[in-house]
Structure 1
Amino acid sequence: MNAIATQDFTTEFRDVMANVCTPVTVVTALDGHRPHGTTVSAFASLSMSPPMVMVALDRGSDLLVLIREQKRFGINVLGHGQDGLALAFARKGADKFDGVEWSLSAGVPRIDGAPGWVACHVADLVDGGDHIVVLGHVEDAARADHPPLTYHGRTFGTHSAEEE
């Protein structure tokens, strides 16, 4: 494949994936007493027995370094109206938690008000191209009844049930 064909394919693949509706999460870990987190849309349930999830982090992610060291992470599933949090945690920098209410739950940072919560310990790290897929054994989970924040077509939105 030549360079132009590769660029066209990459653009087409990116556009196809932008058309896939994904959940919006903030993955967190603790460095001593300091919380760290980043916005991730590559997150999914993996297994019910045992309970497992998977999340993909960029190879260059500072959070990935911390998760490798700590062997623990949290997944805060964001809800409708929390796109400001998603944008804040998507940027670079160590001050992402400034002004964000959070607590320590099951040993990892839990963002107050996030309607979904999963605490995990690392089961495995798997090569995924320019990302590493983190497989996690779920140790704790909680939810609130609140519409999810989703990402589709390069914009934030939510899911609503079809009327019957």
Structure 2
Amino acid sequence: MTLNDEMVAPVHQQQLVSQEAFRGAMGAIPTPVSIVTTALGAPHGTTVSAFASLSLDPPMVLVSLQDNSDLLEMIRQTKRFGLNVLAYNQGDIAATFAQRGIDRFAQVDWQMDHGSPRLAGVASWTACRVADFVTAGDHVIVTGLVESAFDVDIAGLVYQHRRFGHFTPTEPAP
């Protein structure tokens, strides 16, 4: 055992910030809003804000899903997922896909693309093959190898302080 090992208490014994304080601090960070999708007989998807680009070589993304998520179990089975990054005007779709107990796909236009549902009108789309599952707290990080991608020049939907909004550039694109 090193000196550092002796000085660091196990996580369950450490003094951690309250969930309320943590939620408030994280809510102050504007995050892009997406719908993660897969298909197992029928289309399935849920709203997430915890995702990121991970690697350029090879092209990879990561998404974070609650460890008891039905969608996570389906992705474990299909080994595929789509990442639909919503456009600024798709807050209603984000809200719909955040609800439980409804047919989330009934009121949206979508099509299958590389084995996963792709929603119409999104700012960007990536089709992914699962590379790994990493358990982290009460979530599982799913890493995906990107097999297809596209984007359109439209502002993306962001979420900050429990409100939807959008990015406004301060200078023209190069």
The residue number in structure 2 matching 1:114 is 122
Distance in 2 separating the partners of 1:112 and 1:131: 28
Q: Residue 13 of structure 1: which of 13, 22, 29 is its match?
A: 22
Distance in 1 separating the partners of 2:105 and 2:125: 17
1:1-164 correspondence runs (5 A) = 9-32=18-41, 34-163=42-171
Q: Is the 8 A contact 1:36 1:94 kept in 2?
A: no
Q: Deviations over 1:35-74 (max 9, x none)?
A: 0000000010000000000000001111001000000000
Gaps of 5+ in 2: 1-14
**Partner-residue secondary structure (3-state), 1:139:** strand
Structure 1's consecutive aligned runs of 4 or more residues displaced over 6 angstroms after TM superposition are none
Percent of pairs identical after alignment?
48
Gaps of 5+ in 1: none
Distance in 1 separating the partners of 2:59 and 2:171: 32
Q: Is the 8 A contact 1:80 1:158 kept in 2?
A: yes
Cα deviation for residue 30 of structure 1 reads: 0.3
TM-score under structure 1 length normalisation: 0.92
Is the deviation greater in 89-98 or in 47-56?
Answer: 89-98
Cα deviation for residue 128 of structure 1 reads: 1.1
Bigger Cα Rg: 2
Distance in 2 separating the partners of 1:60 and 1:127: 11
TM-score under structure 2 length normalisation: 0.87
Distance in 1 separating the partners of 2:101 and 2:81: 19
Q: How many residues align?
A: 158
